[in-house]
Amino acid sequence: MVSGSYLAFQLRGSLAFFRIYRDSILNDALAGFTNLEQRANAVADLAFKRFGSRPATDDSGDMEQEAEWANEEGQVYYDAMVGLRQATMNLLSAGLFHLLEQQLAILCYDCEFCDCVLANADIKSITAWYLRYFDINLEKLPQWKTIDELHWLANAVKHGEGSSAVKIRVLRPEVFSNPRLEHYGLKWSIPLHSPVRQPLAGDDLFVTDRLFTEYATATHDFVATIIQHFAQNGKKGYPHISPPAT
């Protein structure tokens, strides 16, 4: 058996990952997606110069067609970068949830628990394992509602339309509203119940910076609460084997 203090120490090492997600991802991992409008304008300007350097096909001196081509090239760049940023946000949100599963599962694989096999490292199996062997009900922690929501969101990001997308529509319908359309006053131009087809291409599902911060904060605090539980039971021996749920 091991002590609660030992388990708190083991899990405390993972807290830095969740702190980085909470405090640094938006500023650091997404730093390459700033000033997109200015960068798109620069792309258009370069394209206009490139088109303008070609031999003229007539003597009119009219560059209207070249300007249109250049603007299209700048718009394509802008749309691609906005989509890539959104895809990155969606992917990081899914990754945050699976990071949580992996870090919680680490405690279940301690060599002292060789007789307490964790069959699957998914949140449902982990929650049942923690309840039985660590005497902590993860579903009763104050952050659980947000963690559960993140779970369905992560599945929707990975798999697109399906049961998880249906659940997240009920829990967080605003993630299906394109913020770009809202910016242009077209918030409701695409029905919220349109199928989720390309969340990893930045379409159909839109995790905002605010929502990502909410999920990252909840995940960090969730792990911190579990650490606190073990610290408060520092002298207790684990695994504490509770009877299986009926």
**What pLDDT does 62 receive?**
61
Residue 72 within a domain: no
**What pLDDT does 136 receive?**
96
Mean pLDDT of 57-85: 79
HSE-up (13 A, CA, CB side) for residue 178 = 21
Give the total number of structural domains in the chain: 1
Q: Are 136 and 238 in contact (CB under 8 A)?
A: no
Higher pLDDT, 245 or 42: 42
**What pLDDT does 59 receive?**
54
Lowest mean pLDDT among 53-67, 90-104, 106-120, 228-242: 53-67
Residue 58 pLDDT exceeds 60? no
**What pLDDT does 29 receive?**
85
Dihedral-angle region of residue 61 (phi above 0 means left; psi in -120 to 50 means alpha; beta otherwise): left
Q: Give per-residue pLDDT as tens, 133-186.
A: 999 999 999 999 999 999 999 999 999 999 999 999 999 999 998 887 765 555
Residues facing 237 on adjacent strands: 3
Q: Which residues contact 71 (CB under 8 A, 6 or more apart)?
A: 44
Lowest mean pLDDT among 24-33, 86-95, 125-134: 24-33
Helix (H, G, I), strand (E, B) or coil at 82: helix
Residue 38 within a domain: no
The length of the chain, given as a count of residues: 246
Q: Are 201 and 83 in contact (CB under 8 A)?
A: yes
Higher pLDDT, 156 or 116: 156
Which residue range is the domain that position 185 belongs to? 2-28+98-238
**What pLDDT does 244 receive?**
57
Residue 70 within a domain: no
Say what the alpha-carbon torsion angle 181, 182, 187, 191 is, to the nearest 10 degrees: 50
Residue 123 within a domain: yes
Rounded Cα distance between 22 and 218, Å, is 9
Lowest mean pLDDT among 45-59, 100-114, 161-175: 45-59
Residue 211 within a domain: yes
Q: Are 105 and 97 in contact (CB under 8 A)?
A: no
**What pLDDT does 189 receive?**
46
Mean pLDDT of 80-100: 94
Residue 88 within a domain: no
Q: Are 241 and 9 in contact (CB under 8 A)?
A: no
Mean pLDDT of 71-89: 89
Lowest mean pLDDT among 20-29, 45-54, 76-85, 198-207: 45-54
Residue 231 pLDDT exceeds 80? yes
Residue 34 within a domain: no
Residue 223 within a domain: yes
**How would you class 135 by CB atoms within 10 Å of its CB: exposed for 0-12, middle for 13-18, buried for 19 or more?**
middle
**pLDDT, averaged across the chain:** 87
